Structure 1
Amino acid sequence: MTSHELSFASLPTEILQAIFEYLPPESLVNASIASKRLKSIADQPIVWRHYCRTQFRYWDTKHNIAGKFAGSLADVDWKALFVERNKTDRATTQLLNKVVSSQLDRIANIQEIANLGYDAKETLLRHYNVGDDAEDVLARRYYSNAVLERIHREMAIKVWKELGNGKPVDIERALGAYDMFTLSTSDGDFDNITACMDNLAKEVRKENPDFTSLSTRQQALTLASILRARDFNGVSDDAYQALRNNFIGIVLKSPDHESLPLISVAIYCCIAKRLGLDARPCGYPFHVYGLVFAPKDKTLDGKYLPSSQNAEYMYIDPFRSEMEVSEETLRSMLRDMGVPATNHSAFLRDASTRELVLRTAKNIMNSVQTIRRAEAGSYHGSTFHPPSWLSTYPDMDNAFYGTLWAMLILGVQADEAASVMTITTRRRQYLPYLCERFQQHFPWDVTLMEEYVIPLFYDLPEGHRLMQYVSAIHGSDRTPKPVVARSERTLHVKYKIGQVFQHRRYTYEGVITGWDTSCIAGDEWIRHMGVDRLTQGQEQSFYHVLVCDKSVRYVAEENIELIGEDFRPSAAMLKLAGRHFKRWDEKNRIFVSNIRDEYPDD
């Protein structure tokens, strides 16, 4: 054989395709220029479909990627799709670099990334997982996470908006929207939740090959038994208030699967639907049951039922057991609660998906309030003994923010029984709380406010104020920050941007993010905080500080005590600090400023 016959390019097409699939895309492009044959093979759709499948995990819904992977190879220009995703990757990186490096147009650049949709998630996760030695590690992690959360929130809000507009929305997706508000960089998005449900249904069929031959009643009880055998056993009384028990995605992926009754029944009904059962949640007072209907013209036990008779149904409580619950038992409990018999049917019917979302919002609010009381030490006087269920996961502020969005979008319904004034009054209850959290924690949600909130108040005073507020945020984002330079006039300003301290009186951990040569707060705040009773009064330096509990405060210089040499910022502070700082400088015991455009000398 000649040397040409033994060349790489002379290998069979199938082998070259297999080899190309192991090459990085960049190497494939380089190899393809060696000969016309290699280029022809490298351009094969099967190679680029493989790259699309292996290089990217997250896809925006506009691609319908599951349908494309399942369809014909020739129906999709796979190379063009891969190139499109690569462009998104580069655009996301360029925009994120701008977000990290400058305060100017930061919100606008975050919005541009958000406009790229779920395709940007791959890139954002890569930046979030940057090494600890990166020059801007804290800022890069903070803002990649912030943008990703912004994308997740919009996906959730769109689901609730569809539900509010009367479109059919699956229970798992409507409840999974709460997970999207707290997901951050973890797994557990809409697709993960659906996959978990699909897998559970497949396991039921695999382990019970005769499942379809069972009667509806037997199927309903069998499914409850199987789920409980897999530790879907509700939750113990001492962990009932745990925040995580309200989130369907967290419950599905957690080892113990602890959950509130509503989530237990929702999971049961979602899997039952996949198995051919007509199962729906029943919104009973203080509890949620499953309501399973027999097929048309059949009884629950599989016998013929004349069409003139009402359809049969049964109640089940997968939260507590795999046993059926009689309707008479439920009616008896309603009587014990003092519910008039004329109202029983309202509590024994199937609940709408919208009702489940709103009920979950109230459950989350109750958990948040309980946690806040616990953290305040109210359980044991002034000493705080955290209960075993108290957990920082999921993020409490994000969870509460999600409930406010849900209540604002779904908490009122323009039906004949509700006047415009009643609807407006209800929405007004949630608006101040939503705006407060938006202003403090989520200013990059400004376009979400424009698209989903302002239209609800468009012809009302709140709408005009919101438009002015949003316009001011955009204007501030486009305007360079005023420079606060050091001079002879500022010689008495003792501390610098990035220094970490503990409050002398309240002992909380904080970091300095700005300073004033004297107190510039309003008269009411000065009186309320007793500034004039301080030793140095209003004329001492005051500092804007970020506290490890996410709050932003204004602190007098005399109340600042810098950390000692053996103190390192807490994990909570390191996570938050990226909003203003690049990294922690261990040698100099200071956060490296990322806001030098505003404070150039610190």
Structure 2
Amino acid sequence: MIPPLPADVLISIIEQLPASRDFEGEISAQTLARCARVNTTFRNIISTPSLWETHHKVRYIYNDERAELQRQTQFGDNWRLRYSARRTIDRNCLVLLDKVIEKRQGRCDHATAIATNCLDAWDVLDIEAGKYKRPLVFCNVNEQPDLSLTKEFWATALNKAILRTYAVRLWGSLNLEGSDAVSFVDAMSATSCFLGRGPKETSSLLNALTIQCKEYLQAKKYPTNPDDPNYSLIDLCTQICEFLRSQDFGAVEAPNFHDMMNLFPHTYLTTHRRTIPLPLVHVFVSVARDLGIAASPVDFPTRVLAHISSPDPTMDDFYVDVFGSNEKAILSLREDIPVLLARQDFQLRSVEDYISPCLAPPMLLRTGRNLLASLHTTVRVPNSLSRDSILLAFSLHVLFTRRQPLISQMFSQVDALDAATFISEALIPGVDQYPIQHGLSVACQGIMEQETREAAVTHLRSEEETSIQHFVGMVFQHKKYSYIGCIYGWDPICLASDEWKSAMGIRNLTRGEEQPFYTCFCMDGSMRYVAEENIQPPFTCNREIFSRLTEVVDYLPKYFTGVIMNETWAGHPKGRFALSPEVQLSYPEDDAIGQAWLELPPAMSQV
């Protein structure tokens, strides 16, 4: 009989189980739980809280601060119980995620239930989305793709909604708790949440930059301690600017001034370091504050500056022009600022408004204006980025200007998921004026009621008086304009507004408006409403066409789970998109029609 091992040896062995966010980490956690069932000795050992600490910290990057404080109060340093509490949230969120994918009816309620967990739900959805990150799935004619593509889409979409809820709550506290409730650096960093990038991603980039700056200053033997006799605040700020330029931060060239990627922290800290003034001041202020410098942004005309408050009462405060630092970084209050204001023809009596250090709200509003300005240029912006930017810009304006007309403009881009999550959970509570709250609530209610009506509709082609020639999931070529598109819905007749029909000349079509119309997305990423007489199935449809559509239409996995190909006919491959569960419920007969079409020889499938 093998003698039992001492407890400390068993603990040492069990500690070797790897902690990670992937499948291996999942197996490790399951192994820990199963060991507890072996006998009393193992149960006592597995109850050792320290065994779970690493697994908790590796799996959970984010948490909802209030909920985490409650867990700390309830469980203290018992990491096993804290881990167990988070896993309970994970399981609930995964059940809700499956319901979101399964059908459109009730989806908003399930999304709201997930969003109420805020950042407590982020990690499990991120892990779930990461499981399925793979290329577009192609199946043979007698196979069906799994739900991986669609599950990744919804996990990612819900995580983006969660991050938007976090960001808008953060900004809302500036209204509810005071303009100094959130630092300028944190408030600006949260703008990347609207593109699905978490606050810790931005903060880690800023922290890494600060560490590099300290090493740079140390190598050049520049003192950063104010008590050092050689310390110079002006020289230190100049050196920070030089360091940033050494890291390729600087003024963007004129042709790229309105590039949307100049405006989001996760990009202007990485790929777009040549950017506009406000992002450069955000980076400078973050680094300067970490070095103990009282730096703040200034809402100066034409370009944002950084204000430096001197601890020496005999020394004037001064300004840093980070954008123009390669020419002149330090600006004096008495000499340079009046000259700059005079160039802009500003009256001296209003000088204080433009030279005083400001808090986060004016800078957030300026970000919103920059976003809208970039959208109104000739620079081509992907549809998803355009929509995200519009939602961010109008959210900021609604929060801080509280203007009623902005609501209708914002809601032209709002979908049911937005209304059910960050608008209802964060934007409405974050506005401190009842008329705006009421206007947002009414608009949200309208979106949700429309979603409920549309979700209840089932499209049965067998019950339509008009013959529906094509099917959801079919790729086509437009007969007149030759672009490639894919059908994701249809109506038996044109249901667009009279204004749209008139503008598009629908009554001039051969079959007029009393023919089926198809909702489609196209190879350029746009969505269109196309008359049946203009739709022509391509003679062949290779894998490249499906892959390209998936690349340019980021919401495609909401409707389709993959591609079913029939490549039996040499040189003439055919394929169709496989319908997601919600589309199968909405168009229950289209899957069979598509499959029958797919099995026809290419020459017979032309309509």
Q: Structure 1 CA distance, aligned partners of 2:76 and 2:420?
A: 39
In structure 2, the partner of 1:591 is 577
In structure 2, the partner of 1:105 is 106
Q: Is 1:268 aligned with 2:284?
A: yes
In structure 1, the partner of 2:12 is 15
Matches within 5 A, 1:34-73: 34-62=38-66, 64=68
Q: Structure 1 CA distance, aligned partners of 2:536 and 2:255?
A: 39
Q: Structure 2 CA distance, aligned partners of 1:120 and 1:453?
A: 19
Pick from 566, 588, 592 the counterpart of residue 600 of structure 1: 588
Q: CA offset at residue 294 of structure 1?
A: 0.9
What code does the residue aligned with 2:385 have? D
Quick one: structure 1 residues 201 and 280, their matched pair in 2 at CA, closer, same or farther if it must change by over 3 Å?
same
Matches within 5 A, 1:229-244: 229-244=246-261
Matches within 5 A, 1:239-254: 239-254=256-271
Q: Structure 2 CA distance, aligned partners of 1:202 and 1:461?
A: 43
What code does the residue aligned with 2:283 have? I
Q: Structure 2 CA distance, aligned partners of 1:402 and 1:459?
A: 21
Moved more, 357-366 or 509-518: 509-518
Moved more, 572-581 or 148-157: 572-581
Q: Structure 2 CA distance, aligned partners of 1:392 and 1:39?
A: 55
For residue 511 of structure 1, give the secondary structure of its aligned residue in structure 2: strand
Q: Structure 2 CA distance, aligned partners of 1:480 and 1:280?
A: 49
Q: CA offset at residue 443 of structure 1?
A: 3.9
Quick one: structure 1 residues 207 and 551, their matched pair in 2 at CA, closer, same or farther if it must change by over 3 Å?
closer
Matches within 5 A, 1:124-135: 124-129=125-130, 130=132, 131-132=134-135, 133=137, 135=146
Quick one: structure 1 residues 438 and 74, their matched pair in 2 at CA, closer, same or farther if it must change by over 3 Å?
closer
Q: Structure 2 CA distance, aligned partners of 1:601 and 1:9?
A: 65
Matches within 5 A, 1:265-304: 265-295=281-311, 298=312
Moved more, 21-30 or 400-409: 21-30
Pick from 343, 349, 368 the counterpart of residue 350 of structure 2: 343
Quick one: structure 1 residues 486 and 433, their matched pair in 2 at CA, closer, same or farther if it must change by over 3 Å?
same
8 Å CA contact 1:32, 1:38 repeated in 2: yes
Matches within 5 A, 1:461-480: 463=438, 467=442, 470=445, 473-474=448-449, 476-477=451-452
Identity, % of aligned positions: 21
Q: CA offset at residue 491 of structure 1?
A: 6.3
CA deviation profile, 1:288-335 (whole Å, cap 9, x unmatched): 22211111xx25xxxxx3xxxxx6211221222263223322322322
Pick from 144, 163, 173 the counterpart of residue 152 of structure 1: 163
Quick one: structure 1 residues 402 and 279, their matched pair in 2 at CA, closer, same or farther if it must change by over 3 Å?
same
Q: Is 1:445 aligned with 2:433?
A: no
Quick one: structure 1 residues 135 and 400, their matched pair in 2 at CA, closer, same or farther if it must change by over 3 Å?
same
Q: CA offset at residue 177 of structure 1?
A: 2.5
Q: Structure 2 CA distance, aligned partners of 1:223 and 1:556?
A: 60
What code does the residue aligned with 1:201 have? T
Q: Structure 2 CA distance, aligned partners of 1:236 and 1:461?
A: 39
Q: CA offset at residue 501 of structure 1?
A: 2.3
CA deviation profile, 1:462-496 (whole Å, cap 9, x unmatched): 94795376167258538862322232755621101
Quick one: structure 1 residues 36 and 16, their matched pair in 2 at CA, closer, same or farther if it must change by over 3 Å?
farther
In structure 2, the partner of 1:421 is none
In structure 2, the partner of 1:170 is 183
Q: CA offset at residue 502 of structure 1?
A: 3.4
Report the RMSD for the aligned CA atoms in angstroms. Answer: 3.1
Matches within 5 A, 1:176-575: 176-183=189-196, 188-209=197-218, 210-212=223-225, 213=228, 214-254=231-271, 257-295=273-311, 298=312, 305=314, 312-321=316-325, 323-327=329-333, 328-370=335-377, 373-375=378-380, 392=382, 395-412=385-402, 427-439=403-415, 443-451=417-425, 463=438, 467=442, 470=445, 473-474=448-449, 476-477=451-452, 481-487=456-462, 489-490=464-465, 492-547=467-522, 551-563=526-538, 564-566=540-542, 568-569=545-546, 570-573=549-552, 575=554
Q: CA offset at residue 409 of structure 1?
A: 0.7
Quick one: structure 1 residues 573 and 137, their matched pair in 2 at CA, closer, same or farther if it must change by over 3 Å?
farther
In structure 1, the partner of 2:601 is none
Q: Structure 2 CA distance, aligned partners of 1:584 and 1:509?
A: 16
Quick one: structure 1 residues 508 and 8, their matched pair in 2 at CA, closer, same or farther if it must change by over 3 Å?
farther
Q: Structure 1 CA distance, aligned partners of 2:452 and 2:103?
A: 11
Quick one: structure 1 residues 81 and 478, their matched pair in 2 at CA, closer, same or farther if it must change by over 3 Å?
farther
CA deviation profile, 1:171-228 (whole Å, cap 9, x unmatched): 1221122211012xxxx42122223323333333344353212122222222222222
In structure 2, the partner of 1:83 is 84
CA deviation profile, 1:225-262 (whole Å, cap 9, x unmatched): 222222222322332211111112321233x5222111
Quick one: structure 1 residues 479 and 91, their matched pair in 2 at CA, closer, same or farther if it must change by over 3 Å?
farther
Quick one: structure 1 residues 276 and 472, their matched pair in 2 at CA, closer, same or farther if it must change by over 3 Å?
closer
Q: CA offset at residue 458 of structure 1?
A: 8.3
8 Å CA contact 1:48, 1:78 repeated in 2: yes
CA deviation profile, 1:109-153 (whole Å, cap 9, x unmatched): 111111222222222223323145551233222211211111111
8 Å CA contact 1:128, 1:144 repeated in 2: yes
In structure 1, the partner of 2:570 is none
Quick one: structure 1 residues 139 and 10, their matched pair in 2 at CA, closer, same or farther if it must change by over 3 Å?
closer
Moved more, 482-491 or 277-286: 482-491
Q: Which runs of 5+ in 2 are unaligned?
A: 20-26, 138-144, 567-573, 591-607
8 Å CA contact 1:108, 1:477 repeated in 2: no
CA deviation profile, 1:41-83 (whole Å, cap 9, x unmatched): 2211110112111233333333558x97xx9x99322111111
Q: Structure 2 CA distance, aligned partners of 1:28 and 1:291?
A: 54
Moved more, 462-471 or 33-42: 462-471
Q: Which runs of 5+ in 1 are unaligned?
A: 300-304, 306-310, 376-390, 413-426
Q: CA offset at residue 552 of structure 1?
A: 4.1
Q: Structure 2 CA distance, aligned partners of 1:350 and 1:488?
A: 67
What code does the residue aligned with 1:108 have? D
What code does the residue aligned with 1:16 have? I
What code does the residue aligned with 1:18 have? E
For residue 575 of structure 1, give the secondary structure of its aligned residue in structure 2: coil
Q: Structure 1 CA distance, aligned partners of 2:527 and 2:433?
A: 31
For residue 110 of structure 1, give the secondary structure of its aligned residue in structure 2: helix
